[in-house]
Structure 1
Amino acid sequence: MSASPIATARQSLTAPVIDYEPPPVGTTAPCPMPTSTAMHRRTPRPMTPATRPRREAPVPRAAAVFADAALRRVLEVVDRRRPVGQLRAMLRPNLVDAVSVLTRTPSPEGAAALKRVRLRAVSGCPGEPSAAEVFATYTRGKRVRAVAGRVEVVGGRWQVVALQIG
């Protein structure tokens, strides 16, 4: 009995691959191993003075205390533990409206807890800075979230002028 044409066609679908690498062109011998002195030789480098990082201006203590209190109140308003009216002296009017929108849908994950607040002075005029950037983290349930903003001296008092709640 002879093999069917279908069976022979299935057997010839693959062919072995030939391992082939062409000979090197233009070289007669392999590169020699470097000596131990060549491997441990110091390469002369030009001496350059070390650049010191620019030192940031210290943030006023009043700005840090205000930012911490303001962010705590904002999170309490978002959680409906405080009325929105208590933010009017601390935030710009457009930010009070934005925070009041966040209070419309309560979070099922529970209350927010402010964890870490950091400030960086915004360089401006010489002397004590009148503005600072605020970076903070807070937890809601098992998740860690972030808040960012800017505080400035407005009319002799600190006020939150920008706010992003994540």
Structure 2
Amino acid sequence: MTASPQPAEPTPAVPLRTLRLSIVPALHPPLTGPAVALVDPATPPPRPPHRPGPRPTPEGRRSRSQDLFGPAWSVRDDLPDPRTAGRLLFTTALEALAGRRPLTQVQRLTSPGVYAALVSGRRPAWCARSTTPLLVGPVHVCEPVDGVAEVSAVARRDGRAHAVAARLEGVDGRWRCTALSIG
């Protein structure tokens, strides 16, 4: 026996309700005084940070006073490949933050300010919580000024991707990281 389809029962009409607008009083009185200035117009904006050390001469030679005191900026011709330096920096920094190598190994690759921030800062949770290996993808390089390279890459762990970027500046014939961002 086959069941024949039953005729559909008409659905009862739902009575429509009328919407009513209710005005709710504000919890706080409106501001009636002068607007609050977030920035004092009399205060000058902060100055950009000074880049320490002397710049190289156009011929790439150092003067006698530069030979005697402190580090000197290097021109691009005197520096190694920034891709190699960027990959070494990213791998070393991420493995140090993951606890797989001592953080002091990053010190020779970074400026004192970046190293201090790495030592005193929080470690990214994605970097420290897992034991799977970190994979650093291809390193992309942009050289906006002679002796400066901005490098970026994608680090992968546990199937997730994280951006890493750094600014490298040529000092005494090698790259030194002056800014590091780990996302």
Aligned counterparts of 1:136 and 1:158: Cα–Cα separation in 2: 17
Cα deviations across residues 109-151 of structure 1 (Å, max 9, x unaligned)? 744221121101113xxxxx31111111010211111011110
TM-aligned CA distance change 1:82 to 1:103, over 3 Å: farther
Aligned counterparts of 1:109 and 1:83: Cα–Cα separation in 2: 16
Give the match for residue 119 of structure 1. 141
TM-aligned CA distance change 1:98 to 1:110, over 3 Å: farther
C-alpha RMSD over aligned residues: 2.8
User: 1:1-166 alignment to 2 at 5 Å?
Assistant: 62-100=81-119, 101-103=121-123, 106-108=128-130, 110-123=132-145, 129-166=146-183
Give the match for residue 25 of structure 1. none
SS at match of 1:116: coil
Give the match for residue 42 of structure 1. none
Is the 2:139–2:151 Cα contact (8 Å) retained in structure 1? yes
Q: Greater Rg, structure 1 or structure 2?
A: 1
> Gaps (5+ residues) in structure 2?
1-14, 19-75
Aligned counterparts of 2:118 and 2:132: Cα–Cα separation in 1: 17
With the length of structure 2 as denominator, give the TM-score of the two structures: 0.51
With the length of structure 1 as denominator, give the TM-score of the two structures: 0.56
Aligned counterparts of 2:124 and 2:141: Cα–Cα separation in 1: 29
Aligned pairs, how many? 107
How much does 1:158 deviate?
Answer: 0.9
> Gaps (5+ residues) in structure 1?
1-9, 14-57, 124-128
TM-aligned CA distance change 1:139 to 1:104, over 3 Å: closer
How much does 1:98 deviate?
Answer: 2.3
Is the 2:113–2:178 Cα contact (8 Å) retained in structure 1? no
Is the 2:80–2:174 Cα contact (8 Å) retained in structure 1? no
